[in-house]
Amino acid sequence: MIENFRILREIQSLIKKENDLLNEEMGSNSRVINIQKRIDGAISEKQSKQLEESERCIKLEQLEILLTNKIEELAQLQKSENFLSSEKQLQLWENQKKQCEESKSQIENDIFELMQVSEEEENEINELDEFIQGATKSLQEIQLEVLAENNETLQKIESLKKRITTLVEELPSLFQEKYLKAQKRNPLNCLSLVSQGKCQHCYFQLSSFNKEKVENHFELMNCQNCGRILLPSAINL
Ligand SMILES: [Zn+2]
């Protein structure tokens, strides 16, 4: 009878291994997902920077037209200097020239500032580009690595599953039935060892009658509290 409990425990340890392998696979996949996320983030950052840059280009073109106009205006003013015939006209002319020069230098400042921002942003776009290229290359390498790892893991999982099925089939039908039911309830951990009359999973105290049944008669029982199948402590002897 105790042999059946030993089979159960072996099944349990195989399930634990299977679960560890599944976690390993998930960890490998998340490596790929994390890099992909960072690349996607860099691409969208680059796109928004490029959009801003093209808006700056349009603005720069407009400012350059304004500047050309101002230069032309100044040249015209310069030409008209010789035709001034009164003090009042000279006053007006000087005011006009001053305004024109001020607005010209304001436009020149705006152009200079805009070009500076453009230069900084272009550097950042280049850095993003370098990151995207490098990360895409390593992503491809990691994907291949992960694919190979996962294949290996899946094969191991497959053989564990086969081994578990074989072991379950070795159990008498009562054990099979109870085991499958308990396993459905707690897929990762459906067995619990009894120690000093307690379920070692939830520490529920068995009555002395039930303790006697499990420990000495190797009867198949579920913990009344957590529902796990109770394994007699003799299994460790
Ligand atoms: Zn329990």
Q: How far apart are CA 69 and CA 67, in angstroms?
A: 5
Q: Give SS3 for 104.
A: helix
Percent of the chain at pLDDT > 90 equals 94
Residue 202 contacts by C-beta under 8 Å, 6 or more apart in sequence?
192, 223, 225, 226, 228
State the distance from the centre of ligand 1 to the C-alpha of 235, rounded, in angstroms. Answer: 17
Tokens representing 147?
């694919």
In this predicted structure, what is the pLDDT of residue 218? 93
Give the residue ranges of DSSP H helices in 81-172.
87-170
Q: What is the pLDDT of residues 46-102, one digit of tens each?
A: 999 999 999 999 999 999 999 999 999 999 999 998 888 899 999 999 999 999 999
State the distance from the centre of ligand 1 to the C-alpha of 24, rounded, in angstroms. Answer: 29
Tokens representing 171?
């159990």
State the distance from the centre of ligand 1 to the C-alpha of 186, rounded, in angstroms. Answer: 12
State the distance from the centre of ligand 1 to the C-alpha of 162, rounded, in angstroms. Answer: 28
Q: What is the pLDDT of residues 124-146, one digit of tens each?
A: 999 999 999 999 999 999 999 99
Average pLDDT over residues 20-40: 94
Q: Which domains does the chain have, with CATH numbers?
A: 19-169 (1.10.287.1490), 176-236 (no CATH)
Paired strand residues for 191: 229
In this predicted structure, what is the pLDDT of residue 1? 79
In this predicted structure, what is the pLDDT of residue 212? 95
State the distance from the centre of ligand 1 to the C-alpha of 228, rounded, in angstroms. Answer: 6
Cα Dmax for the chain? 129
State the distance from the centre of ligand 1 to the C-alpha of 22, rounded, in angstroms. Answer: 26
State the distance from the centre of ligand 1 to the C-alpha of 183, rounded, in angstroms. Answer: 14
The mean pLDDT of the chain is 95
pTM value surpassing 0.85: no
State the distance from the centre of ligand 1 to the C-alpha of 223, rounded, in angstroms. Answer: 5
**Number of C-beta neighbours around residue 223 at 10 A:** 23
21 pLDDT above the threshold of 90: yes
Least Cα distance to 210 among 189, 199, 192, 173 occurs for 199
> Dihedral angle at the C-alpha atoms of 100, 103, 104, 109, nearest 10 degrees?
160
State the distance from the centre of ligand 1 to the C-alpha of 106, rounded, in angstroms. Answer: 82
